[in-house]
Amino acid sequence: MLADFNFRVIFEYLPFFLTGLKSTFLISIISIMLALVAGIIACACRISGIKSIKYPAIAYIEIIRSTPLLVQIYFLYFGLPTLGLRIPEIQTGILALMLNSGAYIAEIIRAGINSVDEGQIEAGISSGLNYFQRMRFIILPQAIGVTVPPLLGQAIVLVKDSALLSLISVMELTRCGQTMTSERFMPSEAFLTVAFFYMCIYFCLKALADWSQRKLIFREAY
């Protein structure tokens, strides 16, 4: 089946694939950072008692979670120009990834905050701590540990999701595979190499996620 698998062509295209890998890397890192900011803001709005910011946050999270990322990407890609905003594809893509992951991260952080036992909050109240002090000294230190492993899981999802940006012609890893297929007509070499690179990123992040799972979950430690 793979008898005529052509390694020579892969080596010839290796520098090309490495630029693709680099751009996937950069896109993912920038998007996850921005998504973290978006997620923290959305979560803060979601758990606040003020209705005028709580309901928009709920709407944002639920709409993002129940529509496919590809539709969101196309929505921005075809929609922003009709509003008169002409930004490069790569920025559209990062915006879409940020908005998408932001909603999931908001839910992850909310789950982390909810995982803190009710009794501890009551203890905080009776010690005379105000809302921000309770957040700062009781809830967040515990919530962060619980949140890190699923956040790394979300990072894995985001790296894979960034492959969809190839469909709006952002030059990243998957797009490199498509380009090589159209130039040389060698889909097995192209896409198996692409898959290999994604697997490398996946295993690194997976190892990190497993490690953080072992190290940071200390809920039982009292």
Partner 1 sequence: MMAFYFGKLVEIFPFFLKGLSMTVQVAFISLVTCTFIGFVLGIFRSGKNILIKRLIGVYVAFVRGTPFVVQIFIIFFILPEWGIQLEAFDAALLAMAIMGSAFICEIVAGGIESIPRGQWEAATSSGLSLVQQLRFVIVPQSMKVILPPLVGQYVLLIKDTSVISVIGVMELTRVGWLTVVRIPEGLMVFSLVGALYFVISYPLILLSNYLEKRMAV
Among 12-20, 27-35, 52-60, 154-162, the segment contacting partner 1 (CB under 8 A): 154-162
Indicate whether 63 belongs to the interface with partner 1 (CB under 8 A). yes
Please give the Cα distance from 145 to 212 (Å, whole number). 8
Indicate whether 75 belongs to the interface with partner 1 (CB under 8 A). yes
Interface residue with partner 1 among 174, 180, 209, 212 (CB under 8 A) is: 174
Indicate whether 219 belongs to the interface with partner 1 (CB under 8 A). no
Closest among 76, 78, 71 to 95, alpha carbons compared: 76
Asked if 27 and 97 touch (Cβ cutoff 8 Å), the reply is yes
* Distance, CA of 100 to chain centre: 8
Asked if 96 and 81 touch (Cβ cutoff 8 Å), the reply is no
Comparing CB distances to partner 1, the nearer of 13 and 198 is: 198
Indicate whether 181 belongs to the interface with partner 1 (CB under 8 A). yes
Interface residue with partner 1 among 14, 29, 70, 217 (CB under 8 A) is: 70
Comparing CB distances to partner 1, the nearer of 125 and 199 is: 199
Question: Structure tokens of 162?
Answer: 């960034």
- 2 secondary structure, DSSP code: -
Asked if 103 and 64 touch (Cβ cutoff 8 Å), the reply is yes
Burial class (CB in 10 A: 0-12, 13-18, 19+), 94: buried
Q: How far is the CB of 173 from partner 1 (least distance, A)?
A: 9
Indicate whether 215 belongs to the interface with partner 1 (CB under 8 A). no
Question: Structure tokens of 1?
Answer: 């089946």
Indicate whether 178 belongs to the interface with partner 1 (CB under 8 A). yes
DSSP H stretches of helix in 130-186: 131-134, 140-161, 173-184
Among 40-48, 117-125, 128-136, 189-197, the segment contacting partner 1 (CB under 8 A): 189-197
Q: How many residues does the chain have?
A: 222
Among 38-46, 48-56, 139-147, 199-207, the segment contacting partner 1 (CB under 8 A): 199-207
Binding site for partner 1 (CB under 8 A): 1, 62-63, 65-72, 74-75, 77-83, 156, 160-164, 166-167, 174, 177-178, 181, 187-188, 191-192, 194-195, 198-199, 202-203, 206
